Amino acid sequence: MMKKTLPLLLVVLIFAGCGDGRRAGQRQESLSPEMRVHADSLAADVVNETLRSWQAYKTYAWGHDVLAPLSKSYMDWYDEPLYISPIDAYSTLHVMGLMDEAAEIERYVVDSLHFDKNIDAKVFEVNIRILGGLLSMYALSGNERVLEKARDFGERMLPAFDTPTGIPSYWVNLQTGVARGDTVNVAEAATYTMEMGILSYYTRDPKYYQAAKKATLAIYSRRSPLGLIGDIINVQTGEWVSRQSHICAGVDSYYEYLYKSYLLFGDPELGKIWDESIGPVKQYIMKEHEGRLWNARVDMDSGQQTSASVTLYDAFFPATLVLSGDTALAKRLHTTWDWLWKRYGLVPMVYDYERGQPNYPVYDLNPEVIESAYYLWHFTGDTLYFNRNEHYWNSIREHCRTEVAYTAVANVETMEQRDEMATFFFAETLKYLFLTFSLHQGKFDFDDQIFNTEAHPFQRSAFDPALAREYLAF
Ligand code: DMJ
């Protein structure tokens, strides 16, 4: 439940401003005493496995971006490491109560990490993982030196937004500020309002949020008469490079951030954009096929279907839907993802539901199906969703567990493994599993939290709506 101390204006914005049934969730006490014991042991198992994977990272990849768990080695995203796994892992370790491990990361970040590196960083990815991770590290630790790192990183990202449209270039050089890459997808164009809004709030400097919001408005203002957007755009001209409309990888977090940023800050303009965007998505993109509900790709001008390919990223959508109050649609979509997971034993990255075959059979330890089951478990109290996440955890344990940690699967039809443990396994997958199995313990107040798209949590009641309006300048 929302905290009673929540400022009245925020309550008004969240409840009265939403008008269509959006509400905070109700955790239902639906676990029997026996199930609670079982859930406790699952939560403890996830913590143990997280610790085991973290120790593997420290042993084989410390100081680098990503653990390669099969070769017991490491990979970096760029010529110099940015320490992405630990930054992404911090909030999960903290939420699990692994405070020594979390404190070690915090010390390393303030003492040894600097961003004055001559590398071209991918703006979208470093925003959700590094800026989002640092901001949640600050929120959880209160360490002002962490905030200084986040501000420094935000400053280094800003030159990317200096384009005629306000949509950021694909890359930015962290040292020189030189940006390049004129073609971006919508997720890369407009998944910034949460992190940059939070940075504006903490620093009381609106320029970050203003840059992020301009990019979001640049996408929204280019919608078709049907209210649909394309998926790839030129940041210099604002011309759509692809007019395919969908909620798949390459667009997904645009919609997620419209709603979540509105919820966190109460900017009415974002609420209006969400309200005007979600109807066309439901009308044109949701498709029935053989008794299941899927999402299609359609032409943004005609609404005609262009493809029946879904990506496993699309499974974020039930979470956003149930958060916004549309539980019925969220349940139907999640049942489809559950069917696909159980068909293969893990979910393929890309699947064509009309052909009934994967287009790209990789599973990279992604969180989305689990994330949505966690939301549904929280909001409905139906143990079906708890059971689903138990099933998914068993699948991951069976197919992805290695001698030292967890790894991706190259092909869900053969379960052949691939040598990489993505940073979001720490940030998202393990966190959502732990929060599912520990929900009944009541230690983590979901209703007072909003996760960025990389599952870094931020406390809603820590953002005063009147101050948000001032610090973000909306
Ligand atoms: C994560 O990096 C983020 O959640 C992103 O928005 C899309 N999905 C990946 C993990 O699958």
**CB of 92 closer than 6 angstroms to any ligand 1 atom:** no
CA–centroid distance, 370 to ligand 1, in Å, is 12
CA–centroid distance, 453 to ligand 1, in Å, is 6
Mean pLDDT (the chain) is 94
CA–centroid distance, 313 to ligand 1, in Å, is 7
Residue 124 to residue 338: CA distance in whole angstroms: 29
Give tens-digit pLDDT for 262-307. Answer: 999 999 999 999 999 999 999 999 999 999 999 999 999 999 999 9
pTM: 0.95
β-pair type (171-173, 120-122): antiparallel
CA–centroid distance, 96 to ligand 1, in Å, is 21
Model pLDDT, residue 29: 67
**Residue 20: pLDDT over 50:** no
Model pLDDT, residue 25: 58
Cβ within 8 Å of residue 388, ≥6 positions away = 334, 338, 373
Report whether 418 contacts 407 (CB < 8 A). Answer: yes
**CB of 429 closer than 6 angstroms to any ligand 1 atom:** no
Give tens-digit pLDDT for 174-196. Answer: 999 999 999 999 999 999 999 99
- Ligand 1: which of 185, 186, 247, 313 to mutate, judged by most atoms within 8 Å of the beta carbon? 313
Q: Give the E-state strand segments of 14-130 in sequence order.
A: 66-68, 73-75, 120-122
Residue 348 to residue 358: CA distance in whole angstroms: 6
CA–centroid distance, 422 to ligand 1, in Å, is 10
Instruction: Provide mean pLDDT across the span 189-215.
Output: 98
Q: Which atom of ligand 1 is nearest to the CA of 368?
A: 11
Q: Give the E-state strand segments of 218-363 in sequence order.
A: 232-234, 240-242, 244-245, 286-289, 292-295, 297-299, 305-307, 309-311, 350-352, 357-360
- Ligand 1: which of 428, 429, 432, 451 to mutate, judged by most atoms within 8 Å of the beta carbon? 428
CA–centroid distance, 201 to ligand 1, in Å, is 24
Measured at the CA of 219, the angle between CA 199 and CA 269, to 5 degrees, comes to 60
**CB of 424 closer than 6 angstroms to any ligand 1 atom:** yes
CB-CB neighbours of 296 under 10 Å: 24
Q: Which atom of ligand 1 is nearest to the CA of 364?
A: 11
Model pLDDT, residue 79: 96
Model pLDDT, residue 270: 98
Give tens-digit pLDDT for 50-107. Answer: 999 999 999 999 999 999 999 999 999 999 999 999 999 999 999 999 999 999 999 9
Give tens-digit pLDDT for 342-399. Answer: 999 999 999 999 999 999 999 999 999 999 999 999 999 999 999 999 999 999 999 9
**CB of 366 closer than 6 angstroms to any ligand 1 atom:** yes
**CB of 454 closer than 6 angstroms to any ligand 1 atom:** yes
Percent of the chain beyond pLDDT 90? 93
**CB of 253 closer than 6 angstroms to any ligand 1 atom:** yes
Q: Which atom of ligand 1 is nearest to the CA of 252?
A: 6
Report residue 85 as tokens: 């796994």
Residue 271 to residue 20: CA distance in whole angstroms: 12
**Residue 452: pLDDT over 90:** yes
Model pLDDT, residue 1: 30
Give tens-digit pLDDT for 100-122. Answer: 999 999 999 999 999 999 999 99
Range name among 16-25, 90-99, 115-124, 409-418 with the lowest pLDDT average: 16-25
**Residue 310: pLDDT over 80:** yes
317: confidence class by pLDDT, cuts 50, 70, 90: very high
Residue 200 to residue 154: CA distance in whole angstroms: 10
CA–centroid distance, 323 to ligand 1, in Å, is 18
Model pLDDT, residue 6: 37
β-pair type (240-242, 286-289): unpaired
CA–centroid distance, 187 to ligand 1, in Å, is 10
**Residue of the nearest CA to atom 11 in ligand 1?**
366
Residue 50 to residue 431: CA distance in whole angstroms: 9
Model pLDDT, residue 31: 87
**CB of 336 closer than 6 angstroms to any ligand 1 atom:** no
Model pLDDT, residue 313: 98
**CB of 453 closer than 6 angstroms to any ligand 1 atom:** yes
28: confidence class by pLDDT, cuts 50, 70, 90: low
CA–centroid distance, 306 to ligand 1, in Å, is 24
**Residue of the nearest CA to atom 7 in ligand 1?**
313
Please name each of the domains of the chain with its CATH number: 8-472 (1.50.10.10)
Q: Which atom of ligand 1 is nearest to the CA of 455?
A: 4
Model pLDDT, residue 3: 34
Instruction: Provide mean pLDDT across the span 126-143.
Output: 98
**CB of 313 closer than 6 angstroms to any ligand 1 atom:** yes
Cβ within 8 Å of residue 57, ≥6 positions away = 67, 85, 86, 89, 405, 421, 426
Measured at the CA of 374, the angle between CA 372 and CA 375, to 5 degrees, comes to 65
CA–centroid distance, 454 to ligand 1, in Å, is 6
Residue 350 to residue 325: CA distance in whole angstroms: 28
Model pLDDT, residue 27: 55
Model pLDDT, residue 157: 98
